[in-house]
């Protein structure tokens, strides 16, 4: 990853805002003058199914899909979904993940792994792991619905990220419901401030 491009994988489950976040990153990249390839992959077509989005910011035409070891950044809306997609990471990959597990009802018995085990395995497979309590910061910003914006704020502060925080924030403001505009702005700043604190 550098100022000219990045391969970003966004992962989570249905209903958490993965597709919205992917769209905003893509629109912000275009606004910044970049060429973009993007794709979305849906699991079960309901809340609870795995969902991934990819945004590849490059100066040339590439496949929209991110292959194994190709992700510069993995933005995780759910810890276990990050682990399920960790094959896309390498020792150059930065991972930002919400720490809140989402335990969905499944047809078979499933025991959610311990969070510390999930995070330990992720850390072994990437360059840097940032764990963020997106839910708590969204509540602090005024509404739990703006949790995706917390993660976008965190993403904007990663070193050498090819889109400025100003461009991302403008794109968010133009694409969120007016009644949640102020909460989204506050959520973006909460996420950005969290990463700045981690970088000190």
Please give the model's pTM, rounded to 2 decimal places. Answer: 0.92
List pLDDT tens digits, range 140-192. Answer: 999 999 999 999 999 999 999 999 999 999 999 999 999 999 999 999 999 99
The pLDDT-based confidence of 50 (bands split at 50, 70, 90) is confident
Any residues with CB less than 8 A from the CB of 110 and at least 6 apart, and which? Answer: none
Q: What is the pLDDT at residue 47?
A: 55
Residues in the chain: 200
Angle, helix 134-141 to helix 181-199, in steps of 10 degrees: 130
Nearest to 185 by CA among 157, 143, 155: 143
Domain ranges of the chain: 6-199
The pLDDT-based confidence of 45 (bands split at 50, 70, 90) is very low
The pLDDT-based confidence of 44 (bands split at 50, 70, 90) is low
Cα Rg, the chain, nearest whole Å: 16
> Nearest 5 degrees, angle CA 138-CA 160-CA 63?
90
φ, ψ (nearest 5 deg) of residue 189: -70, -35
Q: What is the pLDDT at residue 64?
A: 82
Q: Which fold has domain 6-199?
A: Pyruvate-ferredoxin Oxidoreductase; domain 3 (3.40.920)
Q: How far is residue 28's CA from residue 5's CA, in Å, rounded to a whole number?
A: 13
Task: Give the mean pLDDT of 74-90.
Answer: 96
In this structure, the strands spanning 94-98 and 50-58 are unpaired
| Residue of higher predicted confidence among 39 and 173 | 173
List pLDDT tens digits, range 12-36. Answer: 998 889 999 999 999 999 999 998 9
Q: How far is residue 135's CA from residue 141's CA, in Å, rounded to a whole number?
A: 10
Where would I find the H helices in the chain?
A: 18-31, 79-84, 115-124, 134-141, 147-156, 165-175, 181-199
């Amino acid at each position: 990853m550098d100022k000219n491009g990045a391969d970003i994988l966004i992962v989570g489950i249905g209903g958490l805002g993965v597709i919205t976040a992917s769209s905003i990153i893509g629109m912000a990249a275009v606004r910044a003058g970049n060429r973009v390839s993007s794709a979305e992959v849906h699991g079960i077509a309901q809340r609870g199914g795995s969902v991934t989005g990819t945004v590849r910011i490059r100066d040339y035409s590439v496949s929209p899909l991110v292959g194994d070891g190709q992700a510069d950044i993995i933005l995780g809306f759910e810890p276990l979904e990050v682990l399920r997609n960790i094959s896309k990471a390498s020792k150059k990959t930065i991972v930002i993940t919400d720490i809140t597990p989402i335990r969905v009802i499944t047809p078979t018995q499933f025991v959610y792994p311990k969070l510390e085990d999930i995070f330990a395995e992720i850390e072994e497979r990437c360059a840097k792991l940032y764990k963020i309590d997106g839910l708590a910061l969204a509540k602090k910003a005024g509404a739990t619905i703006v949790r995706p914006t917390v993660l976008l704020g965190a993403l904007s502060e990663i070193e050498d990220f090819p889109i400025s925080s100003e461009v991302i924030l403008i794109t968010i403001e133009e694409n969120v419901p007016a009644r949640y505009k102020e909460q989204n702005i506050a959520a973006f700043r909460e996420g950005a401030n969290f990463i700045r604190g981690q970088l000190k």
